[in-house]
């Protein structure tokens, strides 16, 4: 789920070591023939070229393809044999894309095929590249503009059946600090902030209720910057309904992950989505995210995702460093 995309990206982990923000992709040639044939049938033309998009936290394939008739698409596939949860994630992504309002900066879904054992999703190919890392001011502005389009998009009655409420969904994350404190196995002393006991005793999470569309997985590898400079957000399986500032907080700690010196506080101070939001609400959300990711990073690697836990630990560290700076002001 949260921060659980394609393209090779790195972040600084413990002791400055580089952590690759990428999983393991299945090459097009290694996909079962019946799945490749289903992709061609869905697109209406044989696929003559496929370029695997490296990385991403999904144990399946992700390819930019070209058809014999010149059509271009982005195709992702997965099987339960690789990871038992991936089909549920892909099904949810298909459902979310089916209710996205017009004008949301997201690739149009062409269609999906679900056999119960494997699944493929096909989208319009977006001409663009992921943001340069560390983030640049230009790419940050483009991504903020995309988030603004998302949070202002009108949702119809179908959204209520597909998109969970953010305050309800995120409430399940608040117990992570208590689990860490009760069982610190796998934790190094430097990983445990001195406030951990106090955070473990606090299960509050307020200010997240709302009716805005929330992408809820904002990262560089889920963002494409098009040649004209505008941003498109990809990978929507975790979308929610909630406060419009949630995605901006996620953008903030992804920026810090790659550049701890970037002034993300300016975004919090000046963006209208934070108007009237008490600073402690933002800090509390960061604390909850940090605890959840730190707790998850102790678990064994999921099937097909050997780099995920290290990336979660790196994210947790970036978040908690931001919390420390906010708390010192």
- Report the alpha-carbon distance of residue 62 to residue 130 in Å, rounded: 15
> 264-267 long-range contacts, Cβ below 8 Å, gap at least 24?
264/322, 265/325, 265/326, 267/140, 267/144
Read off the pLDDT of residues 138-155 as tens digits, 9 standing for 90 and up: 999 999 999 999 999 999
- Report the alpha-carbon distance of residue 249 to residue 91 in Å, rounded: 26
User: DSSP label at 191?
Assistant: G
Distances (CA, A) of 182 to 171, 177, 272, 280, 300: 19, 8, 39, 25, 19
174: closest CA among 202, 150, 154, 144?
A: 202
- The residues pairing with 223 across neighbouring beta strands, listed in sequence order, are 233
| Torsion 304-118-216-141 (CA) sign | positive
- The residues pairing with 120 across neighbouring beta strands, listed in sequence order, are 77, 113
Roughly how many angstroms between the first and final C-alpha of the chain, as a whole number? 32
Q: Which tokens hold the place of 285?
A: 């959300």
Q: Which tokens hold the place of 81?
A: 């044999």
pLDDT in the model for residue 10: 40
Q: Are 286 and 256 in contact (CB under 8 A)?
A: no
Q: Residue ranges of the chain with pLDDT lower than 50?
A: 1-20
pLDDT in the model for residue 26: 85
Residue 239: CA atoms inside 13 Å, Cβ hemisphere, count?
Answer: 34
252: closest CA among 169, 168, 171, 147?
A: 147
pLDDT in the model for residue 22: 53
pLDDT in the model for residue 24: 67
Sketch out the chain's domains with CATH numbers. 10-124 (3.30.200.20), 137-328 (3.90.1200)
């Amino acid at each position: 789920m949260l921060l659980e995309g394609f393209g090779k990206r790195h972040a600084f982990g413990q002791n400055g070591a580089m952590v690759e923000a990428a999983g393991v992709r299945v090459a097009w040639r290694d996909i079962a023939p019946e799945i490749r044939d289903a992709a061609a049938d869905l697109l209406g033309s044989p696929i003559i070229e496929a370029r695997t998009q490296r990385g991403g936290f999904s144990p399946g394939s992700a390819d930019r393809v070209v058809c014999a008739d010149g059509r271009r698409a982005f195709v992702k596939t997965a099987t339960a044999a690789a990871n038992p949860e991936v089909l549920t994630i892909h099904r949810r992504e298909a459902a979310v894309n089916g209710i996205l309002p017009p004008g949301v900066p997201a690739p149009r879904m062409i269609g999906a095929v679900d056999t119960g054992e494997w699944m493929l999703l096909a989208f319009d190919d977006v001409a663009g590249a992921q943001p340069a890392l560390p983030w640049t001011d230009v790419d940050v502005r483009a991504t903020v503009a995309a988030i603004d389009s998302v949070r202002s998009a009108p949702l119809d009655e179908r959204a209520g059946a597909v998109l969970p409420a953010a305050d309800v969904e995120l409430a399940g994350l608040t117990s992570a600090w208590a689990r860490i404190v009760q069982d610190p196995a796998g934790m190094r002393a430097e990983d445990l902030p001195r406030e951990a006991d106090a955070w473990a005793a606090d299960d509050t999470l307020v200010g997240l209720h709302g009716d805005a569309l929330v992408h809820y997985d904002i990262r560089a590898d889920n963002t494409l910057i098009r040649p004209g400079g505008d941003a498109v957000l990809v990978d929507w399986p975790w979308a929610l309904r909630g406060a419009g500032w949630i995605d901006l907080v996620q953008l903030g700690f992804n920026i810090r992950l790659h550049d701890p010196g970037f002034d993300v506080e300016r975004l919090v101070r000046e963006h209208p989505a934070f108007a009237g939001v008490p600073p402690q609400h933002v800090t509390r959300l960061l604390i909850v995210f940090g605890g959840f990711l730190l707790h998850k990073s102790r678990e064994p690697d999921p099937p097909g995702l050997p780099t995920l836990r290290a990336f979660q630990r790196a994210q947790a560290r970036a978040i908690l460093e931001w919390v420390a700076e906010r708390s010192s002001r």
